[in-house]
Amino acid sequence: MGRIRVLDRSTAMLIAAGEVVERPASVVRELVDNSIDALASRIRVEIEQGGRRLIRVRDNGTGMSHEDARLAFESHATSKIASAADLGRITTLGFRGEALPSIARVAKVTMLTRERDALEGTKVVVEGGRLVEHAPAGCPPGTSVQVERLFFNTPARRKFLRSSATETSAVASLLTRYMLAFPEIHFEFVRDGRATVVPAAEPKARIARLYGARVAGKLHEFSAERGECRVHGFVSPPELARATRAEQYLFVNRRYVRSRLLSEALAEACRSLLPQGRHPMVFVFLELPPEQVDVNVHPAKLEVKFRAEDRLRELLSEALAEALRGSRKSPAAEPRQQVLGAGAGARAAGVPAEHRVREAAASYRAQRAEHAPEELRALAQLHATYILAESSRGLVLIDQHAAHERVLFERFMKELQQGRLRKQELLAPVLVELSPREGALLEENLDMLTELGLEIERFGEGSYIVKAVPAALGDAPKEEVSQVVRSLVDAVAVKDERRRREEAVYRIACRNAVKAGEHLTIEEMETLISQLRRCTSPATCPHGRPTMFCLELREIERRFGRS
Ligand code: ADP
Ligand code: MG
């Protein structure tokens, strides 16, 4: 055995990382936990080759500031608890501040994140625990974390990875649990390019989506409460019982957990109701005050300890027994009767169970919402050129033309990529004269220009007939058409092929955008602001000029001698 020695720091860290990151599904679990904690309403999970090649989780949650994005990768850095006392009342899924650093220690992690009202986002790249990049970056609000080269520096772990199909199905069943626990979240799961979309729904509809309407239609809903503990859920009638316990789920404060509690409560409730070796499908949602449950007992947070386990088991088995009895009494009864039989607990409490699920979801989310997204409110227009808007940080000045350019640019680029950029036939074709250089450029780039919506034909030496222009320019007066064509031809003179396309789209956006000097109503300003906020890179116009800046409250206070 040799002598005991203290491991060097990096080996110790790799071992610790291994406790959190066991396989691709554990990476996905930590990332989705984070997205849910960040109040996301949409989460997209993408994996390639079972996660070996790529894992990417994207959310539309709160995002992180430039500084926090880097801090998130430091060990024990968390925004979720502040002290040991908080460990006794955890309301978030994460709390240890260990996930991101652990994942980044055994892989290459690229994170893009942006707070909703921030002018720009941040990119952080960490590989094998080493910070490689931390820089401003354009990205939509929310966070995306991409994990590549998983276990590149821990060959033992890599060897234990199972086949892609096995790892993929581990991720899929993990996601099923989140989909059950968070029906109000829109999920997308893409594996090796194949996408499954699971839109937000009521709890029962979500089950129907996952297990089919036939199964969902037969489930019995139950609900009961004692003191501050509430339980609700669905259980299948005996005819839908399975040979394994795989379809038995227990969620505690919406966290999926494995616990004896459920199997014991079921055993008590089903005794004599089900043949040996048959297990009903069951979905149980337990809600208790956070201090009644200790979630800090298992590295993967899969097990929990209950303060009053006996009381909970009793509560649960009674609710289940009642639901199952109801189902046994009337296997062929009308659906209505079945619902009444199973819903006794809910009726006793006087609130339909479904509403309580929704209420619980709302209160859970409200609890987590410390930081609601900040708004930008338009106040006025300055010199018919700048929009003045109020944000919680101060006064924001927006250049209306640059901002609109950005909005249109991103819209047209997207339409172009999707082949949806429309063209507009001119009522009467317009003849334009081009120089030999312009003519050559035009002919070299005819395909691209046609794609953009320009329909143009050669008409003798140096003359061209324009029959259609990009729809966005459709109302250009006749005498401006030649200017439009020149401008597009000029745009495609750029060397780089991709930039050429962008430049042409930029010209269209620029011509179409509101100009400096145009009066806007408050509604128009609000619309522009909200369109801008949805852009991938709202902070700059397509040519890199700023679209806005913030006069910070601090600065205003300083000038007035208030601070
Ligand atoms: P924990 O979740 O235990 O706090 P993590 O290492 O998973 O630890 O994350 C560290 C911190 O990074 C979190 O506390 C949170 O502030 C931030 N964070 C991580 N992922 C996201 C995300 N998707 N959206 C917003 N903030 C995030
Ligand atoms: Mg976490």
Domain ranges of the chain: 5-199, 206-332, 350-550
* Residue 238 in this model has a pLDDT that exceeds 60: yes
Q: Give the C-alpha separation, 291 to 91, whole Å.
A: 9
* Residue 249 in this model has a pLDDT that exceeds 90: yes
pLDDT of residue 273: 66
Amino acid at residue number 132: V
Assigned fold of 350-550? Ribosomal Protein S8; Chain: A, domain 1 (3.30.1370)
* Residue 211 in this model has a pLDDT that exceeds 60: yes
* Residue 353 in this model has a pLDDT that exceeds 50: no
Q: Give the C-alpha separation, 160 to 23, whole Å.
A: 9
* Residue 515 in this model has a pLDDT that exceeds 90: yes
If one residue of 78, 114, 255 were mutated to test the ligand 1 pocket, choosing by the most ligand atoms within 8 A of its CB, it would be 78
**In which band, very low, low, confident or very high, does the pLDDT at 390 lie, cut at 50, 70 and 90?**
very high
If one residue of 29, 73, 100, 298 were mutated to test the ligand 1 pocket, choosing by the most ligand atoms within 8 A of its CB, it would be 100
Dist. CA 355 → ligand 2 center (Å): 29
* Residue 77 in this model has a pLDDT that exceeds 90: no
**In which band, very low, low, confident or very high, does the pLDDT at 128 lie, cut at 50, 70 and 90?**
very high
Question: What is the value of pTM for the model shown?
Answer: 0.63
Q: Give the C-alpha separation, 6 to 15, whole Å.
A: 13
Give how far Cα 46 sits from Cα of 64, 109, 187, Å.
21, 14, 11
**In which band, very low, low, confident or very high, does the pLDDT at 333 lie, cut at 50, 70 and 90?**
very low
Q: Give the C-alpha separation, 394 to 555, whole Å.
A: 9
> If you average pLDDT over residues 368-391, what whole number do you get?
80
What is the per-residue pLDDT across 271-293, written as a single tens digit (0 to 9) for each?
666 666 778 899 999 999 888 88
If one residue of 21, 34, 41, 95 were mutated to test the ligand 1 pocket, choosing by the most ligand atoms within 8 A of its CB, it would be 34
**3-state secondary structure at position 512:** helix
Dist. CA 106 → ligand 1 center (Å): 18
| Tokens at 376, concatenated | 């930008």
Instruction: Answer whether 261's CB lies under 8 Å from 313's CB.
Output: yes
User: Which residue's CA lies nearest to atom 7 of ligand 1?
Assistant: 99
**In which band, very low, low, confident or very high, does the pLDDT at 186 lie, cut at 50, 70 and 90?**
very high
pLDDT of residue 392: 85
If one compares 382 and 213, the residue with the highest pLDDT of the two is 382
- Looking from the CA of residue 142, the nearest atom of ligand 1 is 24
> If you average pLDDT over residues 462-478, what whole number do you get?
85
Radius of gyration of the chain (CA): 29
pLDDT of residue 34: 95
pLDDT of residue 2: 59
What is the per-residue pLDDT across 7-40, written as a single tens digit (0 to 9) for each?
666 676 776 666 678 899 999 999 999 999 999 9
User: Which residue's CA lies nearest to atom 23 of ligand 1?
Assistant: 35
Ligand nearest to the CA of 370: 1
Q: What is the DSSP string of 224-254?
A: EEETTEEEEEEE--GGG-BSSSTTEEEEETT
CATH code given to domain 5-199? 3.30.565.10
- Looking from the CA of residue 101, the nearest atom of ligand 1 is 6
Dist. CA 111 → ligand 2 center (Å): 14
**In which band, very low, low, confident or very high, does the pLDDT at 371 lie, cut at 50, 70 and 90?**
very low
Q: Give the C-alpha separation, 134 to 309, whole Å.
A: 47
pLDDT of residue 437: 85
Dist. CA 191 → ligand 1 center (Å): 24
Q: Give the C-alpha separation, 61 to 41, whole Å.
A: 7
436 burial via Cβ count (<10 Å: 0-12, 13-18, 19+): exposed
pLDDT of residue 460: 81
pLDDT of residue 7: 65
Ligand nearest to the CA of 96: 1
Mean pLDDT lowest among 155-169, 276-290, 326-340:
326-340
- Is the CATH code 3.30.230.10 the one for domain 206-332? yes
Dist. CA 442 → ligand 1 center (Å): 51
pLDDT of residue 474: 74
pLDDT of residue 4: 66
- Looking from the CA of residue 95, the nearest atom of ligand 1 is 3
> If you average pLDDT over residues 84-111, what whole number do you get?
87
Close Cβ partners of 103 (under 8 Å, ≥ 6 residues apart):
17, 20, 21, 27, 30, 31, 109, 147
Instruction: Answer whether 66's CB lies under 8 Å from 136's CB.
Output: yes
Q: How many helices (H) and strands (E) does the chain have?
A: 20, 22
Dist. CA 115 → ligand 1 center (Å): 13
- Looking from the CA of residue 97, the nearest atom of ligand 1 is 8
**In which band, very low, low, confident or very high, does the pLDDT at 95 lie, cut at 50, 70 and 90?**
confident
Residue list, ligand 1 pocket, CB within 6 Å? 30, 34-35, 38, 59, 61-64, 72, 77-80, 94-100, 143
- Looking from the CA of residue 35, the nearest atom of ligand 1 is 23
* Residue 198 in this model has a pLDDT that exceeds 70: yes
pLDDT of residue 341: 28
* Residue 356 in this model has a pLDDT that exceeds 80: no
Dist. CA 100 → ligand 1 center (Å): 7
> If you average pLDDT over residues 122-140, what whole number do you get?
96
Ligand nearest to the CA of 58: 1
* Residue 373 in this model has a pLDDT that exceeds 80: no
User: Which residue's CA lies nearest to atom 25 of ligand 1?
Assistant: 63
pLDDT of residue 350: 38
Describe the chain by its helix, strand, coil percentages, rounded to 5: 45, 25, 35
Dist. CA 71 → ligand 2 center (Å): 13
Neighbour tally for 557: CB within 10 Å:
12
> If you average pLDDT over residues 530-542, what whole number do you get?
87
* Residue 490 in this model has a pLDDT that exceeds 60: yes
| Tokens at 148, concatenated | 């590549």
**In which band, very low, low, confident or very high, does the pLDDT at 1 lie, cut at 50, 70 and 90?**
low
**In which band, very low, low, confident or very high, does the pLDDT at 64 lie, cut at 50, 70 and 90?**
very high
**In which band, very low, low, confident or very high, does the pLDDT at 245 lie, cut at 50, 70 and 90?**
confident
User: Which residue's CA lies nearest to atom 27 of ligand 1?
Assistant: 34
Dist. CA 293 → ligand 2 center (Å): 19
* Residue 338 in this model has a pLDDT that exceeds 90: no
Ligand nearest to the CA of 296: 1
Dist. CA 398 → ligand 1 center (Å): 31
Ligand nearest to the CA of 73: 1
Question: pLDDT above 90 covers what percent of the chain?
Answer: 43
User: Which residue's CA lies nearest to atom 20 of ligand 1?
Assistant: 34
If one compares 547 and 478, the residue with the highest pLDDT of the two is 547
**In which band, very low, low, confident or very high, does the pLDDT at 244 lie, cut at 50, 70 and 90?**
confident
pLDDT of residue 290: 85
92 burial via Cβ count (<10 Å: 0-12, 13-18, 19+): buried
User: Which residue's CA lies nearest to atom 14 of ligand 1?
Assistant: 78
pLDDT of residue 344: 32
Question: pLDDT above 70 covers what percent of the chain?
Answer: 87
Dist. CA 296 → ligand 2 center (Å): 13
Helix locations, 155-290, DSSP H: 155-160, 164-181, 203-211, 213-218, 260-270
| Tokens at 504, concatenated | 């042409």
Mean pLDDT lowest among 124-133, 254-263, 327-336:
327-336
> If you average pLDDT over residues 352-360, what whole number do you get?
44
> If you average pLDDT over residues 385-408, what whole number do you get?
94
Nearest to 449 by CA among 496, 485, 477, 412: 485
If one compares 284 and 348, the residue with the highest pLDDT of the two is 284
Mean pLDDT of all residues belonging to the chain: 84
pLDDT of residue 496: 79
Q: Give the C-alpha separation, 205 to 216, whole Å.
A: 8
